[in-house]
Chains A and B, each alone.
Chain A
Amino acid sequence: DGGITQSPKYLFRKEGQNVTLSCEQNLNHDAMYWYRQDPGQGLRLIYYSQIVNDFQKGDIAEGYSVSREKKESFPLTVTSAQKNPTAFYLCATTSRAGARGTEAFFGQGTRLTVV
């Protein structure tokens, strides 16, 4: 069953805690992306990776970190430096490096709440 799996679906974080959101894909896609979605804000790009062992900051990278050690996996860590992490996080992939003219596939999202 091909697709993108994000886990967990719901995540609760205490103040000062780091948490890691998982994103796994079996589509054999080169590029992977993390977006944050707040109500009324649309999607904002956090980080993206076009190939293994390489990634770039998006528009709102502060307080987040990523790694891309395997083609299938692109985990996102929300660090304690991210002061307002409560949001819906979406992972996406495109078949080739560079998004130009390619359809993006999305996971079902992780809803992170600070408690």
Chain B
Amino acid sequence: SQQGEEDPQALSIQEGENATMNCSYKTSINNLQWYRQNSGRGLVHLILIRSNEREKHSGRLRVTLDTSKKSSSLLITASRAADTASYFCATDNQAGTALIFGKGTTLSVSS
């Protein structure tokens, strides 16, 4: 069962531009996480936002959460070629025993 659904599926931008990707989910959540995956590698945790938070920052990353719309967005400011990767949102399964991931957004940043 796929809880989160990222949008867009793919995004191509130039270095220095901002990249925004969105995640929609179906059921109520306690928190939402974003991960990054470089091609052919494992995922790396970026940021976690709790259901009682509306916005969170970490370096060039800004995450927002709108529980009324069941959606979250990840903004990467001043993108670099090294940001080229796939980005996934993840939420708990209903039992709270495992993370369920969306299909991801593939970001390509060209110099």
On A, residues with C-beta under 8 Å from B are 4, 6, 33, 35, 40-43, 45, 48, 50, 56, 58-59, 88, 90, 92, 94, 97-101, 103-109, 111
What band does the interface of chain B fall in when counting residues whose beta carbon is under 8 Å from A? 20 to 34
What CA separation (Å) do A98 and B44 show in the bound complex? 19
Q: Which residues of A sit under 8 angstroms from B41, Cβ to Cβ?
A: 108-109
Interface pair B31/A100, CB less than 8 Å apart: yes
Interface pair A45/B98, CB less than 8 Å apart: yes
Q: Which residues of A sit under 8 angstroms from B9, Cβ to Cβ?
A: 40
What CA separation (Å) do A74 and B88 show in the bound complex? 24
Q: Which residues of A sit under 8 angstroms from B100, Cβ to Cβ?
A: 45
Among residues of A, the one whose C-beta sits closest to the C-beta of B41 is A108
Interface pair A59/B31, CB less than 8 Å apart: no
B84 shortest CB reach to chain A, Å = 17
* Interface flag for B40 (CB, 8 Å): yes
Among residues of B, the one whose C-beta sits closest to the C-beta of A59 is B1
Asked if A100 meets B92 with Cβ closer than 8 Å, knowing A33-B98, A41-B103, the reply is yes
Interface pair A43/B92, CB less than 8 Å apart: no
Chain B CB within 10 Å, residue with most, of A94, A101, A105: A101
On B, residues with C-beta under 8 Å from A are 1-2, 9, 30-31, 33, 35, 40-45, 48, 50, 88, 90, 92-93, 96-104
Asked if A101 meets B43 with Cβ closer than 8 Å, knowing A33-B98, A42-B88, A50-B97, the reply is no
What CA separation (Å) do A85 and B87 show in the bound complex? 24
Chain B CB within 10 Å, residue with most, of A58, A94, A100: A100
Interface pair B42/A58, CB less than 8 Å apart: no
Q: Which residues of B sit under 8 angstroms from A90, Cβ to Cβ?
A: 42-43
What CA separation (Å) do A101 and B30 show in the bound complex? 7
Among residues of B, the one whose C-beta sits closest to the C-beta of A97 is B97
